[in-house]
Structure 1
Amino acid sequence: MEAVYTHGIWMAETIQQRTRSQETFWLVVTHMGDPKAAFLLVFPFTYFISKRAGVAVLWLAAISEWLNLVFKWILFGERPFWWIGESRLFVNKQPNVHQFSSTCETGPGSPSGHAMVTAAVWWVVVSSVGSSLYSRTHSVVLSAAPYLLYVVIVVAVGISRIFILAHFPHQVIAGSITGFILGVVLSRRVPEGRPLLFFISLSTGLLLSALMLHAGLQRLGIELSWSIALAKKWCSHAEWIRMDTAPFSSLARDCGALLGWGLAQYWKPGGWSLPWAPRALSLAISSMGLYHVNRLPLPVRPQGLFYSLFFVKFVLVPQIVMVLVPGLVHFFTHKKKKD
């Protein structure tokens, strides 16, 4: 693996030097590829266009990120920003690379979570758009356009992760392929209309199985906090280390979102039926609501409190998008029509 890692570092250096003027673009792309963006941006945008596609995005985002966490605990995987210093292979010739505010993630690096979740979630979006275009136009060329966009999005997110030194190329490729497979398979098995007990069991099962895996690996003498220590050691700015990039934050987000989905379906089975204008209004209000929910500061100590509140924050996400905001919009627009 040493040769693979070394070539990855030189590739990152080449990408940084040749596309340095596009730094802002790559930083925006890597933020858009963040698994968090799948819940806070892609899910509401898709849901108000197609309910089934929207809940499929939520489903794929949660399951693919959970699996990514499990893979990382099993496969480990270095990250470029700490491997440069830890390997001690660049003492005589340091690579001319730079870190960024998004670089210092604390989990293991293999496979790339950004690439994996992006490939899974956006497959739902483009396949839905492609099918819709084909049913309306019967044009193979036109219906193929979204799939070309899919490739561009996945490749761009992968390059952005290499650019900021968060991942090696092979980790991005592994994440993209795995995410694509998950998108194809799981988009056909979306648990719509299931009872609340199903989602409670699913959320609890994913949480407990991950905790049991974590405890089992530790019992075998595998220290799973190794990546956090390396991230803190080699990150060029201590303030770039964030709790929401820790592995347990991903676990809390996924389990919270799935429970929130179940609660949303329980409160309002089938969701609200809205015309296009109220849907657009609901999307705008939901986006503002999720923006402020995401910005809510959480206490980082004790850690258990942080993860509990982080869990609650993402339980709220489906409630806001699927129940609260469209319900309020329906109430006021329906009342206005009556008047």
Structure 2
Amino acid sequence: MKYRTLGETDLEVSVIGLGTWQFGGEWGKDFTQKEVDAILDKANEKGINLLDTAECYGDHLSEDFIGNYIQNHKREDWILATKFGHHFHNNFERTRHWQADDVLKQLDQSLKSLKTEYIDLYQAHSCTDEEFKNDALWTMLDKQKQAGKIRHLGISLKSNDDPYQTQASREVGASSIQVVYNRLEQVPEKEIFPAAKENKLGVLARVPLASGYLSGKYKPGATFEATDVRSRHDKEDTAKKLALVEEIAYSEVPKDVPMATWALGWCLQHTAVTTVIPGCKNPEQVTRNAEAADLDIVK
């Protein structure tokens, strides 16, 4: 595994992290603690130290799984990144909660769920610009940093083409951004990445496998079961993506490299990107993801 410093923080994160949205049940699979433990054991074995979760991946469910694991292992082996701003409801809907008092309650619940005294990276989760412009919120969060509950703040961007929050990140004390970036979604290269470099921000690239389209599993004409989140995607857009993926597989991916591994390595070649945070369903996928740390992708 390779490691990079996240912006100007003291966090040395693995270039391959682990996204944990799937633990909340929205991938059409309900995980057990045993399954999560096996995934995290494999991540630790492969040198992965960054876990990215959120309060609304289930109602703190993903955090609960991680916390149950962490309490029986070395806390210092892990960099825990979670998020705030929403509340999950049983019908897979979320309501937005951005007032300082609400976020403080979310923070305390996240600490309880993760079974830790501090969060390494606490990220605003897809906030609008109006929600972002909230002095009371950032003042409260700064006080929580001073109290030791939070080590660093970050912003998980809602938009790939609006650089405002990236440019204003330092004003609110944020040290990193998280953004959707992959071979099918290169918009951040235009304005977001230059702004991140200018502000010396760490960059977490989420959805690096384009919701699984870059996993190498799906050919043109593929369909998804109703329980799969991709079944909700626009059918015409899905068809275009699958056709493009087939073209990429033929013209860009070396024959001896799994497409998913290649796709993660592709993201890491951009000098603005600190780490990628793919999700996974089993330890075998963790292993394949970790192999991307050694790839040298020529774009």
TM range (shorter): under 0.3
TM-score by length of 1: 0.25
Greater per-residue helix proportion: 1
Rg comparison, structure with higher value: 1
TM-score by length of 2: 0.27
